[in-house]
Structure 1
Amino acid sequence: MNNKTLSILSYVTIIGWIVAFVQSKDASPKSDLVTYHLKQGFGIFLFSLVVNILLSVVVSIVPSLYFLSYIGYVIFILWIFGIINAANEQKKPIPVIGQLFEGKFGFIN
């Protein structure tokens, strides 16, 4: 697979991320683009996991806060931005939360 495909695949579920991670480890010249999007994809996955768990707990305790579940749509839109950046082969962070993941996840290098 080429770098663009691996970059896009790093955002498509955790299975797609694992496939892109394994394929990028086997590549002889390491691609900075793929590594960057692997970090961004893993970061947004962890962020959405934590937010969904917290929202589930909060909404189960206080059901009148059900409207907070719309935060999931915001995360989905941020995920789409990540895919668009990967498709355009840009090393650009996901808006709002992407800079949190830069320089993190050392195991991806």
Structure 2
Amino acid sequence: MNRKTLSILSYVTIIGWIVAFVKSKDLTPKSDLVTYHLKQGFGIFLVSLAVNIILSVVITTVTSLYFLSYIGYAIFILWIFGIINAANEQKKPIPVIGKIFEDKFGFID
């Protein structure tokens, strides 16, 4: 797989991320683009997981706050931005939350 494909795959579910992570170890020379998008993809996965857990608890407890479930659409839009950046082979962070993940997840390097 080439680096563009691996970059896009790093956003497509956690299984796609694992495949991209394993295949990125085979790339010679190591691709900064793939590493960058692996970090961004893993970050958005963790954010969406945390938000979904928190919203499930809050909405189950206080049903009148059901409108908070629309936050999931915002995360979906951020995910789309990540895929577009990967497809264009750009190292741009995901809006709003992407800067947080640029220097995190040292195990990906």
Q: What runs of 5+ residues in structure 2 fail to find an aligned partner?
A: none
Question: How many residue pairs end up in the alignment?
Answer: 109
Matched letter for residue 38 of structure 2: L
Alignment of 1:5-84 (within 5 A): 5-84=5-84
- Give CA deviations for 1:38-92 in whole Å, capped at 9, x if unaligned: 0000000000000000000000110000000000000000000000000000000
4+ runs of 1 displaced by more than 4 Å? none
1:28 is displaced (CA, Å) by 2.0
Identity, % of aligned positions: 85
Q: Amino acid of the residue matched to residue 67 of structure 1?
A: F
Q: CA deviation at 1:27?
A: 1.4
How far does the alpha carbon of each residue in 1:17-49 deviate from its partner, in whole angstroms, 9 at most, with x for none?
000000001112100000000000000000000
Q: Scaled by the length of structure 1, what TM-score is found?
A: 0.99
Distance 1:20 1:104 in 2: 18
Taking structure 2 as the reference length, the TM-score comes to 0.99
Amino acid at match of 2:97: I
Counterpart CA distance in 1 for 2:21 and 2:107 is 10
Q: Distance in 1 between matches of 2:70 and 2:83?
A: 21
The RMSD of aligned alpha carbons is 0.4
Matched, 1:108 2:108: yes
Distance (Å, rounded) in 1 between the aligned partners of 2:45 and 2:15: 11
Give unmatched runs, 5+ long, in structure 1: none
The SS at the match of 1:66 is: helix
CA distance in structure 2 between the partners assigned to 1:83 and 1:47 by the alignment? 16
